[in-house]
Structures are given as structure tokens and as C-alpha cells.
A and B are shown apart, each in its own frame.
Chain A
Amino acid sequence: MLSTAQLEKIDLLSDTLLYDEAVSFVQRLVRVEHCNPLPTSQVTGLLNIAESFRYDELYRFITHQRDRNWPPSKSDIKTFYSALEQVLSIMMRKRLREEFHLLTERPGGSISEMRQEADALMARLAREFIQHLVAENGLIAAKMEDERRQQRMNRR
């Protein structure tokens, strides 16, 4: 169970840090690595799991999607999940404690308690990050579709 202070801090991080990072994440994949936006079916699955607040299941889903044997036409999906896994791993291993200062100091606390708290925090942070990236992903996908439609009309 997370404290009110922890939840308020997550809201703060979401507004001041995770939003911009999620936007940059998607824009980099599309504009720099020339990936297609994540398709709707993938977005729906990812968002549903992120909203269940189970970080272990979310992480399992992401690594499963990353490790699937995607056909060449869908290799962008693999790239997307590889990048997302890296972002979340660094958040879990490093940023949670060193940058976000979200973990409760509990001298003598058990490893299991610490793990539970870290998972609960990561579930919230990951959900925020994924919600922001899904919104940006959808907007970019719609704009690209508009451009394609315009090009088709110009050719006629």
C-alpha cells in the first residue's frame, strides 16, 4: 500500500518528467529510428495490462512481446518493446531509489517488503509513462494517416 506522499510524488513526476520522457520516447522511435507507431491492437493490450497495476505481469508482457519471433513486417513492434523494457528496467534498478527517492527507508525491513513496495511504485510509474506514450503514439499515427490520405488525393 503506497502512502499519500508517494502517490502525490508520482503525480508530480508524471507531470514534470514522465510526460516529456514518454513523448520523446515515441518521437525518437518514429522520427529517428523510423519505426511505425505501435498498432492499435498492441496499444490496447499494453494499456490494459498497465492499468491492472501489476508490475510483474506488465514486465512479463513486455519481455514476451519483445522476445516474440515477429515477421520482418512487424519488426518495429520488437524495437518498441525492447526500448520500453530498457526504460522500465533503468527506472526500477536505478531511478526509483537514486533519482525519484520514492522508496521508504525501513531499517531491518525484509527483502520481500522492499520488493513489494518497489513493484507497487513501478506499477504506478509505468502506468503513467505508458498512458502518456500511448496518447502521443495515437496522435502521431493519426497525423501519418492524414498525410498518406493527402498524398493519395494529390496523386489523383
Chain B
Amino acid sequence: MNPEMKIIREVSDQAENFYDDAVKLGDHAADALKAAHRSQMTELENIAESALKSSDIFDYIKKQSARFHYWRQAFAGHSDTKIGFGERLKTYLEKDMAEKLATICKRLDIGNSSDEDKQKRRRIYLMLIRQFIHQMVAEYEYQISPAPAAKKKEA
């Protein structure tokens, strides 16, 4: 298997692993932003897709969190009910995702010394972040659509 395919496979495997976490963040996003601020999620997805640096995505999350109170809104369904949506997303991407990146790089024998290896790491990191945000936004969309509410009523 060529190196690029190996990277894609590893990222897909990790995406399977963090799916449940993305769903939880998507639920938090739905609770905090509601359908009224759907454009915020669309914009986040666009930024993640077009960003050349992970730090640009983190900066964006911080800026939105600073600007809009609903990005700082906590979620009753989370164990730590004091953490706002933006903060929780940022922490996940900065800390948890960095650990998943380290796992992939270890498996693919990608070091952290040469600039070439560091650039590879950055690219994989961006791929992971994009996958996570896609999954999270998909869950957000599902939660704000009328269908889940109807299901809850039925239940």
C-alpha cells in the first residue's frame, strides 16, 4: 500500500473511533446554537475545509466563542456542565485529537524532528480535524431537524 493510502486508512480508522465523541459535541452544538445559528456550523465546516493551518481553526473557534454567548453555553447533558461548547470543542481538537495524531504517526513511523515529518503531521492533523467537524456538524444537523423531535414525542 502506498504511503498516502496508508494515511487515508489510518485517518478513517481514527474517525470511526472518535465518532461517538463527535456525536456528543454535535448534540452540545444543537443545544447551544439551536437551528437559529445554523450558519455558524456551516461556516465552521467551511473554515475547517479551507484552512491551511490547524491554528487557524482554533483561532476561529476562539473568536466565535468570544463573540457569541451561545458558543460559550454549557450543556446539561455533559458531565462538566460548566464547559461551553466552543471551549469543549477547542479542548477536544487540541488535546484528544493530538493524541490520535500521535497514535497514527507512531503506526506510520512518522517522526517529529525533520520539517518534512512535521509537515506530514500537520496535514494528518488537519485531516483528522476535518473529519471530526464533518461528523459533529452532521449530528448537529440531525438534531436540529424536525425528525428527532418528532421521534422524542413518539417515544
B55: chain A residues at CB < 8 Å are 14-15, 18-19, 128, 132
A138: chain B residues at CB < 8 Å are 62-63, 66-67
Cβ of B134 within 8 Å of any chain A Cβ, yes or no, is: no
Q: Do B54 and A142 touch across chains, with their CB atoms under 8 A apart?
A: no
Classify the interface of chain A: helix, strand, loop or mixed: helix
B125: chain A residues at CB < 8 Å are 15
Q: Do A19 and B58 touch across chains, with their CB atoms under 8 A apart?
A: yes
Cβ of B14 within 8 Å of any chain A Cβ, yes or no, is: no
Q: State A18–B141 Cα separation when bound (angstroms).
A: 34
Task: Say which size band chain A's interface belongs to.
Answer: 20 to 34
Cβ of B154 within 8 Å of any chain A Cβ, yes or no, is: no
A142: chain B residues at CB < 8 Å are 65-67, 72
Across the interface, name the chain A residue whose C-beta is closest to B66.
A138
Across the interface, name the chain B residue whose C-beta is closest to A7.
B52
Q: Do A8 and B119 touch across chains, with their CB atoms under 8 A apart?
A: yes
A135: chain B residues at CB < 8 Å are 58-60, 62-63, 66
A139: chain B residues at CB < 8 Å are 62-63, 65-66, 86
Q: State A15–B66 Cα separation when bound (angstroms).
A: 21
Q: State A139–B85 Cα separation when bound (angstroms).
A: 13
Known: A135-B63, A139-B66. 20 other contacts (CB 8 A): A11-B53, A12-B118, A14-B55, A15-B55, A16-B122, A18-B55, A19-B55, A19-B58, A128-B55, A135-B58, A135-B59, A135-B66, A136-B62, A138-B66, A139-B62, A139-B86, A141-B66, A142-B65, A142-B66, A146-B72
A-B contact pairs, 5 of them (CB 8 A): A15-B53, A19-B58, A131-B59, A132-B59, A139-B65
